[in-house]
């Protein structure tokens, strides 16, 4: 199971960033250029037998999900998911998160368009691992893959090979999630952006599938139930760590607490009633602060996220409109988490 397969605004932000070394920027620019140069329209690719029958079927599913999300949900599509990148099947985008080993503090990177983000992307695993070893050898780190990313409509977002490894319900969910990023985005507020995209990605995918494929909608509902259980476990673990750390003054004591709390989490993972066994395997995975905080980005303020999910199920376009209003005059992080979304004229 790979819960965190998404990352927003990876290539565009990195291409215009001045926060890192020239070698890193050259690597990202070359990786994004490779994607852009190898893309072709999905309508053309589905006639090419060099793609497998299953890949061609999933191309059409992705294309149609994006079109339906635009037409039925009102999401901005622009250049997204109209093309496929002809890349090796094992091509991946690699994402790192870094955190302090004895404190719940994540490392952020600043980008001109995306703002402040708690992850950094690479097109090569070895480069990502070398970057961690060179710059953050003594910190917690978490390395994962991303099946999709969004350039917020600034560049084409073609289908990448990792998309083909997803089950059908997760494909639709991921497409809607990424199009939410292109529709509603608050620069520098990653927790909010990912929480919104998760809530509206889930609601939007359910709305599309309930009409088009009720059986697949039921599969997605089971997946979302597991995700909520996982979100709540991570949220409770972080709150337990915050409470315990507040009562200590030494790094050594915090590390001891960390070991106990993570051991408790692993037992809870092993005992939880998952419908997907992939979550249960996380009980054997290395878990640290970077891992927890990276997952928490997608489930910050879980009660608010659940409220937003329900609003979107009942009035998806209206919820999008109200979120846009909310982001117009953001001056503080707390402004983004109101008890009620603002009312405003429909656009």
pTM of the model: 0.89
Question: Tens of pLDDT along 159-203?
Answer: 999 999 999 999 999 999 999 998 998 887 888 999 999 999 999
Helices (H), 272-315: 277-280, 289-296, 302-314
pLDDT tens track for 217-251: 999 999 999 999 999 999 999 999 999 999 998 99
pLDDT of 293 > 90? The answer is: yes
Residues 293-307, buried b or exposed e (16+ Cβ, 10 A)? Answer: bbbbbbbbebebbee
The helix (H) or strand (E) run that includes residue 205 is helix 190-212
pLDDT digits (tens, 9 = 90+) for 30-70: 888 899 999 999 999 999 999 999 999 999 999 999 999 99
pLDDT at 6 over 50: no
Grouping H, G, I as helix, E, B as strand and the rest as coil, residue 120 is strand
Residue 143's contacts (CB-CB under 8 Å, 6 or more residues apart) are 94, 95, 96, 125, 128, 129, 132
pLDDT in tens, 107-159: 998 766 667 788 888 999 999 999 999 999 999 999 999 887 777 667 788 99
Distances (CA, A) of 195 to 121, 295, 306, 314, 330: 20, 11, 10, 18, 16
């Amino acid at each position: 199971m790979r819960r965190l397969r998404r990352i927003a605004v990876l290539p565009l932000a990195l291409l215009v960033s001045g926060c890192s070394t020239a070698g890193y920027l050259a690597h990202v620019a070359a990786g994004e250029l490779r994607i852009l140069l190898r893309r072709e329209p999905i309508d053309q690719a589905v006639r090419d037998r060099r793609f497998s029958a299953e890949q061609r079927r999933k191309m059409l599913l992705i294309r149609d999900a994006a079109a339906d999300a635009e037409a039925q949900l009102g999401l901005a599509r622009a250049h997204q998911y109209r093309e496929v990148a002809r890349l090796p099947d094992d091509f991946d985008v690699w994402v790192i998160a870094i955190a302090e080993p004895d404190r719940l503090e994540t490392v952020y990177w600043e980008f001109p368009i995306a703002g402040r983000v708690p992850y950094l992307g690479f097109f090569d695993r070895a480069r990502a691992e070398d970057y961690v070893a060179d710059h953050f050898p003594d910190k917690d780190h978490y390395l994962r893959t991303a099946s999709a990313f969004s350039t917020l409509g600034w560049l084409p977002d073609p289908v990448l090979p990792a998309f083909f490894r997803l089950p059908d319900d997760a494909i639709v969910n991921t497409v809607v999630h990424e199009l939410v990023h292109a529709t509603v985005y608050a620069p520098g507020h990653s927790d909010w952006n990912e929480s919104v995209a998760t809530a509206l990605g889930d609601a939007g995918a359910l709305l599309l599938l309930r009409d088009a494929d009720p059986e697949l909608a039921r599969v997605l509902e089971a997946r979302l139930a597991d995700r909520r259980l996982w979100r709540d476990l991570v949220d409770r673990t972080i709150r337990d760590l915050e409470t315990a750390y507040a009562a200590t003054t030494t790094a050594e004591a915090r590390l001891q607490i960390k070991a106990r709390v993570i051991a408790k989490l692993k037992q809870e993972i092993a005992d939880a009633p998952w419908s997907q066994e992939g979550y249960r395997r996380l009980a054997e995975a290395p878990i640290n602060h970077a891992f927890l905080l990276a997952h928490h980005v997608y489930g910050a303020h879980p009660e608010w996220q659940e409220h937003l999910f329900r609003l979107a199920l009942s009035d998806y376009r209206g919820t999008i409109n109200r979120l846009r209003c909310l982001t117009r005059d953001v001056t503080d992080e707390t402004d983004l988490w109101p008890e009620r979304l603002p009312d405003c004229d429909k656009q």
